[in-house]
């Protein structure tokens, strides 16, 4: 039986809900954090661009946004939960694999952040782990030395990477 709504949801909450669902959908489509973040900023700009005071226009935009979200929904979203059934005091997983195991909806979808993310940490954050970052800087210098020995120094006139 469907649950009867006990309160009317305001337009503001509907827009917030749409925004959150749109971000979750983007998170399902883009597994690399930097690409996801770029798309999330573009999505926020779209929401801010269409912020208006006219309720009729807002309702029309909300309906269009919900339709667009429906059309671009990921076929296997990340936030799937286990469906558990209690049958004869034994819990069975009903037609669903464990999320992070092979065949599950989140299998190989947890992204390990790349190493360059640590280069953009704030100095106060780096100060909390002085030994690690000292050894990391030493290893980066060793890697640059190895690279220059293996492949030669880069041409200063070549500014592109392609």
Nearest Cα to Cα of residue 28 among 75, 98, 83: 75
pLDDT of 46 over the 90 cut: yes
Host domain of residue 26: 11-71
Model pLDDT, residue 161 = 63
pLDDT of 90 over the 80 cut: no
pLDDT of 84 over the 50 cut: no
Q: Give the Cα separation of 162 and 159 in Å (integer).
A: 9
145 lies in some domain: yes
pTM, entire model: 0.51
DSSP letter, residue 107: T
pLDDT in tens, 47-75: 999 888 788 999 999 999 999 999 999 88
* Number of independent structural domains in the chain: 2
129 lies in some domain: yes
139 lies in some domain: yes
| Contact of 82 with 94, CB cutoff 8 Å | no
86 lies in some domain: no
Model pLDDT, residue 15 = 92
Nearest Cα to Cα of residue 15 among 63, 79, 56, 54: 63
Model pLDDT, residue 79 = 54
19 lies in some domain: yes
1 lies in some domain: no
| Contact of 82 with 32, CB cutoff 8 Å | no
- The partner residues of 92 in beta bridges, in order of sequence, read 85
């Amino acid at each position: 039986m469907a649950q009867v709504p006990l309160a009317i949801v305001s337009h503001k909450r509907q827009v917030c809900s749409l925004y959150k669902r749109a971000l979750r959908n983007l998170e399902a489509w883009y597994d690399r954090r930097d690409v996801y973040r770029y798309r999330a900023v573009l999505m926020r700009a779209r929401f801010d661009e269409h912020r208006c005071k006219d309720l009729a226009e807002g309702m029309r935009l909300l309906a269009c946004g919900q339709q667009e979200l429906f059309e671009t929904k990921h076929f296997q979203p990340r936030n799937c939960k286990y469906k558990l059934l209690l049958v004869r005091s034994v819990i069975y997983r009903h037609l669903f694999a464990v999320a992070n195991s092979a065949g599950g909806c989140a299998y190989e979808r947890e992204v390990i952040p790349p190493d360059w993310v640590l280069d953009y940490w704030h100095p106060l954050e780096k100060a909390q782990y002085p030994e690690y970052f000292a050894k990391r800087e030493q290893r980066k210098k060793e890697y640059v030395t190895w690279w220059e020995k293996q492949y030669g120094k880069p041409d200063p006139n070549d500014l592109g990477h392609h």
